């Protein structure tokens, strides 16, 4: 007992907490009382019991701390394992969600591309239809224009032919009238010459010869003009 008292009074031990100060002060009082009444068994027994209780309490406290440390460490390991499992499960779940999202994105992209292809095909078909319609319209316009040109050419040709026929008919009529007039003039002159008498036959003969020459020249001229006209 003296050793505990000497240690307590020597000043080498300094408690760092309020509870430690109370324990140290109480143990010092018990030790001093036991040293003062060394021969009193009751005081010695009480002091020894108190010191025993303190030691037992310390042992129990240390055991409890050790148990709690071990328990908490085990719980920490258990919790860490659970967290690792949760993290792994969360990672797997996120990977699965990412794969599903990629599949959905690929599906949407594929459908969008199909829509673009359908739209492009429809646009190409529409453009081809418009081009075919424009070409058909151009062909129809060209055919109609050609038919109109042909009709106009035919009408112009018919008008030209009609005009040429009328001109030819008029020329032939004028030639016939001129020929009839010349013949009538010649006949009149012959009748007048016949009435003049024999005394003028010599002169009439010369005139007749000259007139015959003139008539021959006129007929030749008429035939020449008719030949040139009829080609």
| pLDDT of 2 strictly over 50 | no
Percentage of the chain beyond pLDDT 90 is 15
Distance between CA 172 and CA 138 in Å, rounded?
50
- Taking residues 25-36, report their average pLDDT: 91
- Taking residues 1-30, report their average pLDDT: 68
| pLDDT of 53 strictly over 80 | yes
Q: Using 50, 70 and 90 to split pLDDT, how confident is the model at 40?
A: very high
| pLDDT higher at 139 or 60 | 60
Structure tokens at 97: 């969600």
Q: Which residues contact 186 (CB under 8 A, 6 or more apart)?
A: 211, 215
pLDDT of the residue at 188: 66
pLDDT in tens, 134-165: 777 777 776 777 677 677 767 777 777 777 67
| pLDDT higher at 183 or 219 | 219
pLDDT of the residue at 9: 43
| pLDDT of 63 strictly over 80 | yes
Separation in Å, CA 23 to CA 20, 35, 42, 76, 222: 5, 18, 22, 34, 175
Q: At 39, phi and psi to the nearest 5?
A: -90, -5
Q: What angle is formed at CA 184 by the lines to CA 183 and CA 190, rounded to 5 degrees?
A: 90
Q: Which residues contact 99 (CB under 8 A, 6 or more apart)?
A: none
Distance between CA 103 and CA 108 in Å, rounded?
8
The alpha carbons of the chain give a radius of gyration, in whole angstroms, of 78
Cβ 100 vs Cβ 94: under 8 Å:
no
pLDDT in tens, 64-120: 999 999 999 998 998 888 888 988 888 888 898 888 988 899 888 888 888 877 788
Q: DSSP code of 155?
A: H
Cβ 54 vs Cβ 23: under 8 Å:
yes
Structure tokens at 53: 């209780």
Distance between CA 58 and CA 19 in Å, rounded?
13
Distance of CA 178 to the CA centre of its chain: 89
| pLDDT of 42 strictly over 50 | yes
Q: What angle is formed at CA 141 by the lines to CA 139 and CA 142, rounded to 5 degrees?
A: 65
Average pLDDT, the chain: 78
Highest mean pLDDT among 33-37, 151-155, 191-195: 33-37
């Amino acid at each position: 007992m003296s050793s505990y008292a000497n240690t307590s009074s020597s000043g080498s031990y300094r408690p760092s907490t309020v509870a430690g100060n109370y324990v140290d002060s109480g143990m010092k009082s018990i030790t001093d009382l036991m040293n003062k009444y060394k021969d009193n068994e009751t005081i010695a027994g009480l002091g020894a019991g108190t010191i025993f209780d303190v030691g037992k309490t310390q042992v129990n406290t240390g055991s409890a701390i050790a148990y709690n440390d071990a328990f908490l460490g085990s719980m920490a390991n258990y919790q860490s394992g659970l967290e690792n499992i949760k993290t792994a499960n969360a990672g797997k779940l996120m990977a699965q969600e990412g794969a599903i999202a990629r599949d959905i994105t690929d599906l949407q992209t594929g459908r969008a591309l199909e829509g673009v292809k359908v739209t492009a095909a429809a646009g190409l078909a529409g453009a081809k239809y418009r081009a075919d319609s424009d070409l058909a319209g151009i062909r129809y316009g060209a055919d109609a224009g050609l038919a109109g040109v042909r009709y106009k050419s035919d009408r112009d040709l018919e008008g030209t032919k009609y005009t040429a026929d009328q001109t030819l008919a008029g020329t032939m009529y004028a030639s016939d009238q001129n020929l009839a007039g010349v013949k009538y003039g010649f006949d009149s002159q012959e009748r007048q010459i016949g009435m003049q008498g024999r005394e003028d036959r010599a002169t009439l003969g010369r005139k007749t010869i000259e007139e015959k020459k003139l008539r021959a020249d006129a007929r030749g001229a008429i035939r020449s003009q008719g030949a040139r006209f009829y080609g």
